[in-house]
Amino acid sequence: MNERASDSSQGGSLYHLDSSDPLGELIDRSQVSPQDIAEINRIMAAMAALRQAEEKLSEASLRYMKLNRTDMRALHFLIVAENRKQIVTPSAIAEHLGISTASTTKLLDRLERGDHILRHTHPTDRRALHITVQPETRAAAMRTVGKQHAKRFIASIDLSSEERAVVARFLENMASQLEVKEGEWGA
């Protein structure tokens, strides 16, 4: 292994442009300076480190709560809705998660068996249900996953207003660039 391949001071070469596109098939570098490439390599490595930290956090929270990703997304949706004083129905959960009503029923049955949620009669529509998070589950989520997610806010506080605007514009642009459009990959 050469010196550059093992260099972790810039996040390792796995995310460097020369490693992922050595022949310039994807990115035309003719108008990009070596310094610009080095700075972009640093950004790509930082994004990879963030993604890895988020994946580790997600895996740890799944293990701690003994739930799957969809269950955790449902609980997060319910906690946020309760914070906003919104009533959540099974159909709202299905829409948020992009799953069928049958899958939602199974999800709610599983969460109820695990003492994570409660089903209530809807306050204005007696035919519908209102779903809430059990206080113990909410407390566990807040002191673990929630506490870790709050650190994103703390990291953002350290930036100036101008820096936050640059970061937000970059992340919004990156999300837009990475979005896979219908039929883009031929299927």
Instruction: Convert 135-155 into a string of H (helix), E (strand) and C (coil).
Output: HHHHHHHHHHHHHHHHHHHHH
Q: Residue 118's domain is classified under what CATH number?
A: 1.10.10.10
Share above pLDDT 70 across residues of the chain, in percent, rounded to a whole number: 92
pLDDT at 187: 54
d(CA 72, CA 3): 42
Residue 175 lies in a domain: no
- Position 1 scores a pLDDT of 37
> What is the domain range of residue 63?
37-164
Q: Determine, yes or no, domain membership for 75.
A: yes
Report whether 130 contacts 88 (CB < 8 A): yes
Rounded distance between C-alpha atoms, residue 54 and residue 72, angstroms: 14
Its pTM stands at 0.73
Q: Would residue 81 count as lying in a domain?
A: yes
- Give the mean model confidence (pLDDT) for residues 81-100: 96
Give the total number of structural domains in the chain: 1
Q: Of the given ranges (20-34, 69-83, 164-178), which has the lowest mean pLDDT?
A: 20-34
27 occurs within a structural domain: no
Indicate whether 80 pLDDT > 90: yes
Q: What pLDDT is stored for residue 10 in this prediction? A: 44
